[in-house]
Every structure is written in C-alpha cells, then in structure tokens.
C-alpha cells in the first residue's frame, strides 16, 4: 500500500474517531438512560409480577378479558375507549388503559375478578415508557429519543471504522492501566455484542419512523392520518359515537370468532371504542407472543350486536417485513434464553456508553489538567452512571414501602425514582470523584440488598426469587468494586511509601 493511501486511511480513521467521540458525548447521558431502561423493559411482564406479589390467580387470556370488560362496564362506562392487553403466561394481569372524564388511567386488573389489583403500580411499564419517552411530554420525549437513536447509529458506524484491530480488541483487557483500561473495557463491551447493538439501534429508529421520517406519510396521505392507520391495519374499524346508549354484547363469542379469523392465533390485545354506545366497536388483535411479527391480524366487531365487521391477517410482504423488524426490537416473541441474550446485549451497550463517557475524561486527564467543563463532566459521570440505576432500585423499594391503599401510588413510585436519581446527580456534582464513586456505589449496593430483603428473599415464587437473587448478585459485584476502590484510595502513594521506608 502506498504512503498516500495509508495517510488517507489514517486521516479517515482519525475523523471517524473524532466524530465517534463527540456524537457519544453530546447525547451520552440520554443514551445511557434509554439503554438501561430498554434493557430492563425486556422483562417488563416479570417486573410487573415482582411488583404485584399479591396477585397469584391465573386465567387464560379470553377469560381475563371477559372479566376485565365486566369490571370496566360498571366502573368506566363513560370512557371513550378501553385498551386492554391480555395475560400471556409471562404477565398474570390484564393491563388496562382508559379515560374517565379528564383523567387517564393505567391499571393492572385481576385476571379472575377483573377488578384493579390491591397494589397499584406501573410495574415494568415505567421502564418501557422511560425507554422511548424519557418522562418528557409527547412528542418531545419521543423526538429526543429518536434523535439519540440516530446519534447512536452514527457513533456505532464511526466506532467500527475508527477501529484498527476490531477483533483483537475483543480479547484485550489490561486492568489497572488508567486510560488504557477504560479503552479496553469500552472496546470489549462494544465489540462483543456489536451485531446486537446495530440491530437494536436500527430497529429502534424504525419504531419511531413516523416521527423521524414523516415526509413519506405527508406525501402519501397529507392531513388524512386516519387513512394511513386504516391502510396499515385494514382489520380495524373506527367510527364516531352514535350518542345512543347500548349495552356491550357478550365479548367471549367475539374473542372466539377473532381467533378463528386469525387461523388459530391467540388473543393479544382488545380495544373497545365508545363502550356503552350504539356505535361501539370491539377490535381484537392477534397475540405476538409466539411470532416475531408485530400485530399480525385484527378483527373488528359491532360492540352492540357482536357482529363481525372486518377481519384481516397481514400477508403483504412490505408490511410483514416492517412487522418483523418492529418485533425484533420489542422481543415479545423471545423465549427465555433469547430474552436473556437481549438483556446481556443491552447491558453491554449500556456499559459501552458509560465506559465511553469515563474514557472521554481519562484521555484528557492524562494529557493535561482538566478544564472546568471537563471537571463538571467528570462529576456528572458519577452522578448519572450511578444515579440512574440507584433511581431504578429506589423505584422497587418504594413499591414495597409505600402504603398499599395510598392515593396516587403509581405516581408516587415514579416520583421516588426520579427524585432519587436527581439527588444522586447533585451529590455527584458536589463530591470529588475519588469520594463520589465509592460512596455512591456503596449506596447502590445497600439499596440492592434492601430491595432483595423486601422482596422477600425467601419467596418460593420463581419471579420473586429470581428478582431477589439478581438484586443480591448486583450488590455482591458492586461491593467488590467498592472494596477495591477504597483499598486503592487508602494505599500509600509511591512518594509517601518511600518516606515511610526512610530510617528515622
């Protein structure tokens, strides 16, 4: 290879490395929150079960939906819509969203009685929404998440190009070497699950395609957005309320007819539009728990008579492709082993982001004294990288300590999580990193042990036991890191050691 070619190659790599560093820095904290919340969301139903330990009853999806609509008919008759997700073996409650007056409710309903469960909580839904809405009102949270996903894709591609020895880095880790150790850790976590990182980022971008790429929709449908939704889901029916009261027909025969229309697929979600009105519509969606494709079929019924209005099973190649891409990101199809691989890949991506943020500082510290901006960034690293997981564990602890009958309990749990994370960020800013890292990690260790004990740790319920053991495993790993940091901090520096060794 000529010298000119080598110079061009090195120049391109340097440019890619520069772009990789800055794109990661600009939205690194947002990406850290998104990746951590997304990783936890893989076990969204299991988190819900851990946070509702009183619910032990089981029911099949159709019986649970019948029970839920029975309770809603009596307690939410004036709603404009009930949006129900049936239990599927992983979740044991019906997830219900509905409006009542000016309020909007999210509740887990008992699969047998249909009534709200005793311990109201958002469960795993909090992490799921945090992943792509960031607790910011619509559409700004989703727009920010979409922008962050674009930045992530740029960072991944530039990181691959900037690498000189991408496969060798996979096997390289040099501990206790300062900047070199952080670089090795960043490279290893990035390279180990690189295909997963590319897949989850690309598919995540597509799930928000209507926001980040609105032009095809505008060109095809203009302002007629409902026509687009009807084209995407031809089995769904929307129509205005008639203004005449009418009882909802028995829903069980509709669910059975929908499963026949799906060719044997199970009921996943059920939407009831304008319940209690003569023009009410019941739309049943096929479950995606046993197929990669998302929203494979729909069937709509006249709510007052139970008559089938329309049904549709998706066979269009373009739509099937999109549904598979969407389903790959959601991972609802995944069996247990695949689900754990998703969690492992998500944890690797979260670690790659956090080590990249620390590496940014480590590089600059070894070259020259840190600027004021980089000193603030160094302390923010402590607050965010430890504070966000601390807020998540505080969410679980609040679930156990807040009174069960407390009004606004789900919102209080979320507030505990957010305020804990915010307090940790402020503490990280206030403390020197040499003190902040071990102190904050120690707090996180204690919080994990407390969450496990409150679980309780001696439970025989598999979901509770698994969750509690994970808390304890995380606490043990953190305790080892804290011990090592404290020992290193207390160890005498070479200069001090030489002074001690000199004879008096």
- Residues 6 or more apart whose CB falls under 8 angstroms from that of 16 comprise 158, 159, 161, 162
Q: From residue 350, how far is each of 131, 178, 236, 353, 428 by CA, in Å?
A: 12, 20, 38, 5, 19
Distance CA 213, CA 209 (A): 5
* Measured CA distances, 124 to 134, 245, 292, 466, 467 (Å): 14, 36, 21, 15, 13
- Is the peptide bond between 341 and the residue preceding it cis, with omega within 30 degrees of 0? no
pTM greater than 0.75 (yes/no) = yes
Query: How many C-beta atoms lie closer than 10 Å to residue 349's C-beta?
Result: 27
387 burial via Cβ count (<10 Å: 0-12, 13-18, 19+): buried
- Beta carbons of 283 and 299 less than 8 angstroms apart: yes
Helix (H) or strand (E) holding 106: strand 103-109
Token pair for residue 351?
């670690």
Element (H, E) at 84: strand 81-85
Residue found under tokens 């047998």 = 112
Q: Report d(CA 185, CA 84) in Å as an integer.
A: 43
pLDDT at 499: 54
Question: φ and ψ at 95, to 5 degrees?
Answer: -85, 125
What is the spatial distance between Cα 448 and Cα 478, in angstroms, rounded to a whole number?
Answer: 10
Query: How far is residue 254's CA from residue 284's CA, in Å, rounded to a whole number?
Result: 8
Instruction: Give the HSE-up count for residue 90: Cα atoms under 13 Å, Cβ half-sphere.
Output: 21
Quickly count: other Cβ atoms within 10 Å of residue 137's Cβ: 8
Q: In what order do the strands lie in the sheet with 81-85?
A: 103-109, 94-100, 81-85, 267-273, 281-286, 297-302, 308-313
pLDDT of residue 504: 40
**Percent of the chain residues topping a pLDDT of 70:** 95
- Among 214, 218, 211, 216, smallest CA distance to 146 is for 211
What Rg, from alpha-carbon coordinates, does the chain have? 26
Are 159 and 186 spatial neighbours (Cβ–Cβ below 8 Å)?
Answer: no
Amino acid 503: pLDDT: 47
What parts of the chain have a pLDDT lower than 50?
A: 503-504
- The DSSP element (H or E) to which 302 belongs, if any, is strand 297-302
CB 470 within 8 A of CB 392: no
């Amino acid at each position: 290879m000529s010298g000119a070619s080598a110079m061009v190659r090195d120049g391109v790599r340097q440019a890619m490395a520069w772009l990789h560093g800055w794109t990661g820095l600009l939205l690194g904290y947002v990406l850290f929150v998104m990746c951590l919340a997304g990783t936890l969301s893989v076990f969204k139903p299991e988190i819900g079960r851990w946070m509702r330990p009183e619910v032990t009853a089981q029911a099949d999806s159709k019986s649970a939906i019948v029970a839920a609509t029975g309770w809603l008919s009596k307690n939410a008759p004036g709603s404009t819509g009930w949006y129900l997700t049936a239990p599927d073996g992983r979740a044991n409650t019906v997830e219900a969203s509905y409006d009542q007056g000016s309020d909007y409710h999210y509740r887990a309903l008992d699969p047998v009685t249909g009534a709200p469960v005793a311990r109201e909580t958002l469960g795993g839904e909090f992490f799921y929404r945090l992943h792509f809405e960031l607790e910011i009102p619509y559409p700004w949270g989703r727009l920010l998440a979409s922008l962050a996903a674009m930045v992530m894709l740029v960072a991944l591609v530039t990181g691959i190009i900037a690498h000189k020895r991408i496969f060798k880095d996979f096997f390289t880790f040099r501990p206790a070497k300062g900047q070199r150790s952080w670089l090795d850790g960043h490279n290893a976590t990035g390279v180990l699950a690189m295909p997963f990182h590319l897949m989850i980022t690309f598919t995540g971008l597509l799930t928000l395609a209507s926001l980040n790429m609105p032009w095809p929709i505008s060109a095809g449908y203009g302002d007629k957005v409902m026509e687009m939704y009807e084209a995407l889901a031809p089995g769904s029916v929307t129509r205005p309320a008639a203004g005449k009261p009418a009882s909802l027909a028995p829903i069980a025969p509709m669910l059975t007819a929908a499963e026949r229309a799906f060719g044997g697929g199970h009921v996943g979600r059920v939407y009831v539009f304008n319940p209690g009105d003569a023009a009410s519509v019941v739309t049943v969606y096929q479950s995606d728990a046993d197929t990669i494709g998302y929203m494979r079929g729909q069937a709509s019924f006249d709510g007052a008579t139970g008559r089938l209005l329309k049904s549709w099973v998706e066979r269009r190649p373009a739509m099937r492709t999109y549904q598979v891409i969407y389903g790959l990101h959601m991972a609802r199809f995944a069996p247990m082993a695949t689900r754990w691989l998703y969690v492992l890949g998500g944890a690797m991506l979260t670690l790659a982001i956090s080590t990249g943020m620390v590496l940014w500082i480590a590089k600059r510290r070894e070259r020259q004294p840190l600027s004021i901006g980089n000193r603030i960034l160094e302390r923010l690293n402590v607050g965010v990288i430890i504070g966000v997981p601390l807020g998540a564990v505080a969410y679980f602890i609040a679930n156990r300590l807040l009174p069960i009958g407390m009004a606004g309990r789900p919102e209080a749990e979320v507030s505990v999580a957010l305020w804990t994370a915010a307090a940790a960020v402020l503490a990280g800013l206030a403390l020197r990193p040499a003190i902040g890292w071990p102190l904050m990690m120690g707090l996180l260790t204690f919080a994990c042990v407390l969450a496990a004990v409150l679980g309780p740790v001696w439970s025989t319920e598999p979901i509770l036991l698994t969750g509690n053991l994970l808390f304890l495993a995380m606490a043990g790993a953190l305790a080892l890191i804290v011990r090592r940091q404290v020992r290193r901090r207390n160890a005498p520096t070479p200069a001090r050691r030489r002074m001690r060794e000199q004879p008096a």
